[in-house]
């Protein structure tokens, strides 16, 4: 069961398809309609790619971060419109 | 000839100049040229608490006494020369800052907003009303049948940008309407983050919108402005705590915030609603996260974002408008826009309405000053904002209330 949405930052030097395939083997799937977003590299770092994935309950944050090609994992919190009742 | 009315002042007096008897009770104190207010209890004041030319010769451990008096303007010079008086301070009338906690009550219409912004004067003096400008509305969807939608992105392929199937109770339509108040000839890009398929509105939809907007901007220079009237109502909506490396609310390294910086560096202007968790009448969804330091989260309060709080058309602070400091920067909000006016709805509400009002103003400024970038725009808006105390920032109003006409005048 997919419960957690996270934004997964991947190394830019590997193809997105390769890393995606590696993630898919663990049941980590990209969110439909969301394409990988190239991120500007900070000074001295190569550019990275971020995409939004669903992660099965069986994989915790530490495991996700340790997958080869995964640079960082970020939260994908709920948001709301800022009108007033 | 009309005589000037006496004015109320605070007189700072030197107790050493008084006789021992007067100093003991102050009851018989009199100062030539001033009518002392017997109802005002004299207040001792440490000399260290003030710095004035009159105090320069006094030593640190000496104190003065402050009394209230009325004086005629023509007697001021005589008072200044008195050996009893150390300094004369103004005592102006004050009033409580009104707070509006009634969002259902409109305080004017869209034309009143345009007038309050100074947009009507800008149109008249420049002949420009936003032609050729594009404002991206990152929201629940904008109905292209009602608004000039010319692009955008939707997470729902069956309901592309401009689809009439809007989410969030037509909130995106409200934002589009409010953005077009200052720039009525501008077009809209619909970044419909509320049109999620199978999932609730998540930050990743906004991230994806920023990504798509940047690609579009690199292709044709649009959208010029991105308006964001969404956010987190409480820190705990973030599944990661502030100290965690994966956190969003307190972490400038989160991809959404970094992507926003890419937009700004590419040349786009980005505004954010501050939020609706102000201390006077916060939204129920804020729970305990209300007031200063607990109500502006993540990119909404990044130093380089233009963070917008809310006032009504009477220029009263709206009591749910989120208060700084933000989690990412101290001096937030930057300024306030207008809300509680009849616009798309009988009353357009929230910092949600105030933000696109400012975003539309940014589009107008960008059209008049084609090279205008985010930092210069933010500085111009802040430095020309209508304020009660010049140069001061406060946690509710920021630098003050937007004055579009003045901001235009401040730009090269």
For residue B101, give how far its alpha carbon lies from the nearest alpha carbon of chain A (Å): 10
Spell out the long-range contacts of B75-78 with Cβ–Cβ below 8 A and sequence spacing 24 or more: B75/B33, B75/B34, B78/B32, B78/B33
Domain range for residue A29?
A: 2-75
Which chain B positions have a beta carbon within 8 Å of A85's beta carbon? 103, 283-284
Q: Considering only the beta carbons, identify the residue of B201, B233, B245 that sits closest to A72.
A: B245
Residue of B nearest to A49 (CA): B255
Does residue A31 sit within a domain? yes
Across the 412 residues of chain B, what is the mean pLDDT of every consecutive 10-residue run?
74 83 74 88 72 46 83 88 88 70 96 98 98 97 98 94 94 97 98 84 92 97 98 92 93 94 97 97 94 96 98 96 97 98 97 98 98 97 85 90 98 96
- Chain A interface test: which of B103, B197, B202 (most A C-beta within 10 Å): B202
Are B351 and A79 an interchain contact pair (Cβ–Cβ within 8 Å)? no
Suggest the residue from A4, A73, A83 to mutate for an interface test with chain B (most B CBs closer than 10 A).
Answer: A83
What is the torsional sign of CA B175, B176, B177, B183? positive
CA distance B236 to chain A (A): 9
Distance CA B350, CA B155 (A): 25
| The predicted structure's pLDDT at residue B410 | 97
- In contact, A61 and B186? CB cutoff 8 Å: no
Whether chain A has a CB inside 8 Å of the CB on B230: the answer is: yes
Tokens of B201: 């509105």
- Contact between chains at B171 and A79 (C-beta distance less than 8 A): no
Task: Give the chain B residue whose CA is nearest to the CA of A10.
Answer: B255
Q: What pLDDT does residue B380 have?
A: 97
Contacts A77 to B, Cβ<8 Å: 202-203, 232, 237-239, 248-249
Tell me the nearest-neighbour CA distance from A50 into chain B, angstroms.
7
Q: Which residues of B touch A76 (CB under 8 A)?
A: 202-204, 239
Structural domains in chain B plus CATH codes: 7-90 (no CATH), 102-410 (3.40.50.200)
A5 contacts: CB under 8 Å, gap ≥ 6: A31, A52, A53, A54, A55, A76, B199, B202, B204
Alpha-carbon distances, residue B68 vs B10, B13, B38, B92 (angstroms): 5, 11, 8, 12
* Chain B residues touching residue A32 (CB < 8 angstroms): 197
A61 in B contact zone (CB under 8 Å): yes
Supply the pLDDT for residue A2. Answer: 42
- Tell me if A83 is assigned to some domain: no
* B174 min Cα distance to partner chain A (Å): 10
Which candidate from A6, A34, A61 shows the least CB-CB separation from B208? A34
pLDDT digits (tens, 9 = 90+) for A31-53: 888 899 999 876 556 689 998 99
From B103's Cα to the closest Cα of chain A, the distance in A is 7
Neighbours of B58 (CB within 10 A): 17
pLDDT at B55: 43
Total number of domains in chain A: 1
Q: List A50's β-bridge partners, or say none.
A: A9, A37
> Which chain B residue lies closest to A7 (C-alpha atoms)?
B204
**Residues on chain A touching B202 (C-beta within 8 angstroms):** 5, 52, 76-79
Number of inter-chain CB pairs under 8 A, A vs B? 136
Q: Is the pLDDT of residue A12 over 90?
A: no
Q: Which of residues 24-53 of A touch B (CB under 8 A)?
A: 31-35, 37, 39-40, 50, 52
Position B78 scores a pLDDT of 86
pLDDT number for residue B5: 80
The pTM of this model reads 0.81
CATH number of residue A49's parent domain? 3.30.70
Interchain CB distance below 8 Å, A9 and B255 = yes
Q: Which of A32, A81, A85 to mutate to test the interface with B (most CBs of B within 10 A)?
A: A81
SS3 for A15-34 is: CHHHHHHHHHCCCCEECCCC
- Report the alpha-carbon distance of residue B227 to residue A32 in Å, rounded: 25
Chain B contact for A57 (CB, 8 A cutoff): no
DSSP B301: G
Q: With bands split at pLDDT 50, 70 and 90, how would you rate the model's confidence at A57?
A: confident
Q: Tell me if B408 sits within 8 A of B122, measured CB to CB.
A: yes
Strand partners, B385: none
- Partner-chain residue, chosen from B200, B231, B238, that has the shortest CB–CB distance to A82: B231
| A52 is a domain residue | yes
Q: Could you tell me if residue A12 is inside a domain?
A: yes
Asked if A66 has any chain B CB less than 8 Å from its own CB, the reply is: no
Q: Is residue A40 part of a domain?
A: yes
């Amino acid at each position: 069961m997919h419960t957690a949405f996270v934004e997964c930052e991947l190394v830019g030097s590997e193809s997105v398809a390769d890393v995606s395939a590696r993630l898919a083997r663990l049941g980590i799937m990209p969110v439909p309609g969301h394409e990988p977003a190239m991120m500007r590299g900070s000074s001295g770092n190569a550019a990275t790619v971020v995409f939004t994935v669903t992660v099965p309950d069986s994989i915790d944050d530490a495991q996700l971060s340790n997958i080869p090609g995964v640079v960082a994992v970020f939260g994908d919190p709920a948001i709301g419109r800022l009108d007033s009742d | 000839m009309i005589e000037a009315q006496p004015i109320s002042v605070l007189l700072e007096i030197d107790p050493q100049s008084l006789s021992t008897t007067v100093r003991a009770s102050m009851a018989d104190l009199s100062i030539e040229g001033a009518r002392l207010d017997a109802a005002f209890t004299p207040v001792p004041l440490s000399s260290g608490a003030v710095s004035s030319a009159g105090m320069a010769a006094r030593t640190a451990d000496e104190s003065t006494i402050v009394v209230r008096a009325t004086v005629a303007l023509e007697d001021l010079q005589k008072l200044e020369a008195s050996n009893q008086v150390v300094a004369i301070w103004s005592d102006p009338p004050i009033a409580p800052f009104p707070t509006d906690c009634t969002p259902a009550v409109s305080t004017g219409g869209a034309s009143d907003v345009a007038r309050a912004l100074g947009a009507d004067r800008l149109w008249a003096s420049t002949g420009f009303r936003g032609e050729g400008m594009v404002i991206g509305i990152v929201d629940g969807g904008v109905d292209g049948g009602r608004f000039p939608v010319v692009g955008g992105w939707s997470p729902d392929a069956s309901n592309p940008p401009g689809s009439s199937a809007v989410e969030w109770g037509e909130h995106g339509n409200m934002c589009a309407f409010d953005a077009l108040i200052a720039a009525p000839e501008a077009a809209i890009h619909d970044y419909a983050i509320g049109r999620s398929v199978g999932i609730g509105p998540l930050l990743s939809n906004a991230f994806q919108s920023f990504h798509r907007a940047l690609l579009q901007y690199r292709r044709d220079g649009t959208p010029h402005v991105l308006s964001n009237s969404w956010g987190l109502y409480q820190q705990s909506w973030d599944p990661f705590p502030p100290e965690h490396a994966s956190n969003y609310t307190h972490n400038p390294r989160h991809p959404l915030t970094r992507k926003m910086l890419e937009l700004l560096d590419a040349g786009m202007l980005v505004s954010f609603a501050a939020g609706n968790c102000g201390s006077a009448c916060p939204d129920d969804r804020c729970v305990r996260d209300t007031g200063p330091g607990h109500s502006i989260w993540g990119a909404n309060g990044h130093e380089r974002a233009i963070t917008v709080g809310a006032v009504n058309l009477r220029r009263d602070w709206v009591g749910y408008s989120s208060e700084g400091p933000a989690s990412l920067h101290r001096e937030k909000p930057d300024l306030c826009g207008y809300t509680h006016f009849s616009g798309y709805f009988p009353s357009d509400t929230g910092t949600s309405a105030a933000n696109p009002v400012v975003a539309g103003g940014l589009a107008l400024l960008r059209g008049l000053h084609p090279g205008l970038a985010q930092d210069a725009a933010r500085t111009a808006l802040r430095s020309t904002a209508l304020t009660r105390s010049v140069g001061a920032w406060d946690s509710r109003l920021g630098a003050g209330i937007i004055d579009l006409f003045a901001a235009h005048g401040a730009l090269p």
